[in-house]
Amino acid sequence: MSFFGRELRIATFGESHGRAIGVVIDGVPAGLELGEEDIRRELDRRMFCNIPVLNPRCEPEEFEILSGVKNGKTQGTPIAVVIWNRRVISSYYDELWKRPRPGHADLAYYLKYGDNYDHRGGGRASGRTTAALVVAGAVAKKLLAILGVEVVGHIVELGGVQISKEYSVDDIKAAWSKPMPVVDDQALKAMLDEIVKAVREGDSIGGAAEVWAVNVPPGLGEPVFDKIKADLAKAAMSIPSAVAFEMGAGVRLARMRGSEANDPIVLKDGRVGLATNKAGGVLGGITVGEPVWFRVYFKPTPSVRKPQRTVDLSRMEPYTLEFKGRYDVTTVPKALVALEAMTALVLADHALRAGLIRRDRPAG
């Protein structure tokens, strides 16, 4: 499916080497201030121009708002945005037709669709398509700003290097002034070294990103099947290369005694809150007024220059694949921006469902 959300709904379209990719966003109230600069800001954040090996050409995205916005404000009608694919070299992928890349969606798409899929650049499964999610996330972030909610993320692991420094949300925000949003400078240097090493070896690396949402009101989420953590997990795992989701302290909670894992309930300035937040701001699938936070782990990029074993499906015989095209040595930095976007979409959708943002009156 290419649809996501209930009250705030998005539909994405396009393939990596097609004419364009894009998104239609439905459910946005009329009157929300929205300009090209809001979308440009988020798209620019996924470029990482300070690290040439991550984005050698570093050309800005070309996009166009087709509908739903007039005179800098939303109209309450579907917002359609296209992002043009200008920098494609499809000839790199001629060798890959019916020779699926190990670890990539090529094989799964072939088994499901036969010859009727676009393998160039990864087609519909490409990380390129997350740019459409980032556009939708830009709109969702504007909606959340009405409630004072902020969403920000950072990289916590890359190429086996983990951060070890304690940090605050302000530290995460400040980290975006660095080449990559990493709060620990020593870890950042080691991560950059791992990127260079992987490029030199013709290989790729994975890692993990963490997202925080602050000023989230209590009561978002529903019991059982529409839990906020379930929707966040679905959103996160929809991003290419995502392999694991961890709410709050996550796996570490499984290794604790209950008395240690539980967050004490206390009074904070006249309201009920949590003394700690190992739960990630969610209990019973519903937000409790604390920051919502979670981690997502991403596997290394499947496309590498090292020889890999596959099968030539036309001849049904073994084949050694050596990829010669352009590829991202790691998906984590760009995936982080998409992860922020999906988080904002989930929270804005639930805020609309809860009536905290009204569709029947001007937004803002």
Q: Which residues make up each annotated binding site for FMN? A: 124-126, 284, 299-303, 326
For residue 192, what is the enclosing H or E element?
helix 185-201
Tokens representing 30? 């009329």
Provide the β-strand partners of residue 150.
Answer: 214
Q: Is the dihedral of CA 86, 92, 94, 100 positive or negative?
A: negative
Annotated binding site for NADP(+): 46
CA gap 343, 349 in Å, rounded: 10
Element counts in the chain: helices (H) and strands (E) = 9, 18
Annotated binding site: 46, 124-126, 284, 299-303, 326
Tokens representing 69? 């916005």
Q: Do residues 151 and 141 touch, judged by C-beta distance below 8 A?
A: yes
CA gap 81, 250 in Å, rounded: 36
Q: Is the dihedral of CA 39, 4, 12, 110 positive or negative?
A: positive
